[in-house]
Structure 1
Amino acid sequence: MTTSDWMDLLLAILGGAIRVGTPFLFVSLGECLTEKSGRINLGLEGVLVFSAMAGFGGAYLSSSAWVGVLVAGACGALLALLHGLLCSLPRVSDIATGIALMLLGSGLAFYFGKPLIQPQAPQIPSLVLGAWSSSPQVQSALSINALFPLGVLLAGLMAWGFGNTRWGLVVRMAGDSSDAARALGYSVNGVRIAATTAGGFIAGLGGASLSLYYPGSWNEGLSSGQGLIAVALVIFARWSPWRCLGAALLFGGAGAIGPALQSIGVSGGYYLFNAVPYALTLAILIATCSPSRAVKGAPMELNVSR
């Protein structure tokens, strides 16, 4: 390949990292908030699929993409609230409940989403940041999802909030020592339900990004396991919102390699490159989830058997 081809490839991967990474960003931030409180939500795949369907339906019926975004967030919060309430019951496993929630969310999305497969809904607008350049490749790479800056801002607010606010301290305390939180008069279940619900709303915004921006339609295979990948992504990011941003772009860039190569005429191994995010997830789990050592930065309550 020529130097120009390499530049086009890098720009295509950069643009793809933002497009593909935006859902990862919101889902990982939602899971980061949930796990900081000491609860894990493996049902995020169901939350993501259901919110993508609901957001698409809301945008289609209202003729407004932003109404669809709010509907997606609300539906994600509703499913996550159910998870939080169930996990607050005695002798209920977070893991088993999360798997049940994943199946419930996916089933509801597939059932109610049948009439939405063909119609077109209004799309989330793009922010054109490359107008200064005459290069179509630069303009395409810098035409970004309008939700992406919101995700960056949210990552910053969460990082600041965990370290500098009372609610951030309470969430972290519930995740690190439930006994300490109770001793100070806080309801651990209440904190975890609130954090799980808020995390579901944030993850729902990722679902809206899937169905209303990229790929921008509703179908039953829309998520491709991104909700489950986000759980590994949070571990990789060591429960840091800023690192979740970097990890989301990394995963987004990995997912964009195949389409980027195809855009410059390299079609060999296309499906192999599409498997890169899943291989990366497996590598991260192998590298970080060693039974012989604790994962640095993990909320201590995640290690407690319930």
Structure 2
Amino acid sequence: MEDTGIGLWGVPLAILAGAIRVSTPFIFVSLGESMTERSGRINLGLEGTLVFGAMTAYAVAVMTGSPWLGVLAAMAAGAVFGLIHGWICKFPKVNDIAIGIAMMQFGLGLAFFLGKSFIQPVAPRLPSIPLGGWSDLPQIQSALNINVLFVIGALLAVALWWAFRNTRVGLILRVVGDSSDAARAMGLNPDTVRLLATAAGGSFAAVGGAYLSLYYPGSWNEGISSGQGLMAVALVIFARWNPIGCFLAALLFGGAGALGPALQSVGVTQGYYLFYAAPYVLTLAILVATSSPTRSLAGAPGALSITK
């Protein structure tokens, strides 16, 4: 092994830093999907929304010089994708999952078509908070250089957890997600609630894409996403539709994704690349562990299609 200055301590440190960096898109996509699924709708199109959000954020940041305007533009684009998805799904006999897959392909294709001219220009990056200034070691300073969106995602997870339990909006989402008939009996329109929830979920997912293009890895290209949008659906099921659980599960996924680079950082030159598959293996394991023909998913909204 090569001498990195802090020895084997570099492995957990690199995993911590990687977990924070890699988990941020998962946090926003999973929080958005948890909101959508709480209303009784599943959106498999978030991979396309994520990539289109990444392209939109990068393009707007290049043209305006402001990464935050890029994030806002990505949120607007994600909301539009969510509105389209929700509007189509309100028609009778339309399958949420099939529409989600179609929207995913539409988002990917549109992003690649419109984003070709923005592959070369360099966009301004989102700011970060240096929490490692107390140490003289550059490894620690780098590990504790926390992006602002990660902090916002953590606060948002707590806020959504509280809102689901203690606000009228949270009650409406839970009622609509559990039973369309009960919602109608209360004077609610399930289609409208699900439309708005899907739009909000798409907006959140697009923020995850903005993080990818404007901070880590911090560029726009057609291979910017590695399936985070789809894996986030498994993450939401694993977290049992709990926003704080989504945040913690995102950190777990992020740590799994950082394992290979962490081993490489301390000089492991053989076999480390096998650990790059850890997030995908973890996704498969979660899907297998949560699948059962005899028992229902704990905490699942009753109207959600995957529970029927």
TM class, shorter-chain normalised? over 0.9
Residue number in structure 2 paired with 1:19: 21
SS in 2 for 1:101: helix
Q: Distance in 1 between matches of 2:291 and 2:27?
A: 21
Q: 1:270 to 1:118 in 2, by over 3 A?
A: farther
Q: How does 1:1-306 map to 2 (within 5 A)?
A: 4-303=6-305
Identical counterparts, % of pairs: 62
SS in 1 for 2:182: helix
Q: 1:209 to 1:304 in 2, by over 3 A?
A: closer
By how many angstroms is 1:305 displaced? 8.6
Q: Distance in 2 between matches of 1:73 and 1:117?
A: 21
Query: Where does the alignment leave 5 or more consecutive residues of structure 1 unmatched?
Result: none
Runs of 4+ in 1 over 3 A off after TM superposition: 1-4, 303-306
By how many angstroms is 1:60 displaced? 0.6
Deviations 1:59-110 (A, max 9, x none): 0111111011111111111111100000011111101100000000000001
SS in 2 for 1:190: helix
SS in 2 for 1:301: coil
Q: Distance in 2 between matches of 1:267 and 1:258?
A: 10
**Between Structure 1 and Structure 2, how many residues are aligned?**
306
Deviations 1:170-212 (A, max 9, x none): 0011001111110010110010001110111111110000100
Q: 1:219 to 1:158 in 2, by over 3 A?
A: same
Q: Does the 8 A contact of 2:297 with 2:307 survive in 1?
A: no
By how many angstroms is 1:58 displaced? 0.7
Q: Does the 8 A contact of 2:8 with 2:266 survive in 1?
A: no
TM-score, normalization by structure 2:
0.97
Alignment-mate amino acid for residue 304 of structure 2 = L
TM-score, normalization by structure 1:
0.97
By how many angstroms is 1:304 displaced? 7.5
Deviations 1:222-261 (A, max 9, x none): 1111100000000000000000010000000100111111
Q: Distance in 2 between matches of 1:233 and 1:13?
A: 19
Kindly report the root-mean-square deviation, in angstroms, between the aligned alpha carbons of the 2 structures: 1.5
By how many angstroms is 1:293 displaced? 1.1
Q: Distance in 1 between matches of 2:271 and 2:12?
A: 18
SS in 1 for 2:303: helix
Q: Distance in 2 between matches of 1:39 and 1:176?
A: 11
SS in 2 for 1:144: strand
Deviations 1:111-167 (A, max 9, x none): 001111111100001110111112212111110111011101110110000000000
Q: Does the 8 A contact of 2:234 with 2:283 survive in 1?
A: yes
Q: Distance in 2 between matches of 1:112 and 1:70?
A: 18
Query: Where does the alignment leave 5 or more consecutive residues of structure 2 unmatched?
Result: none
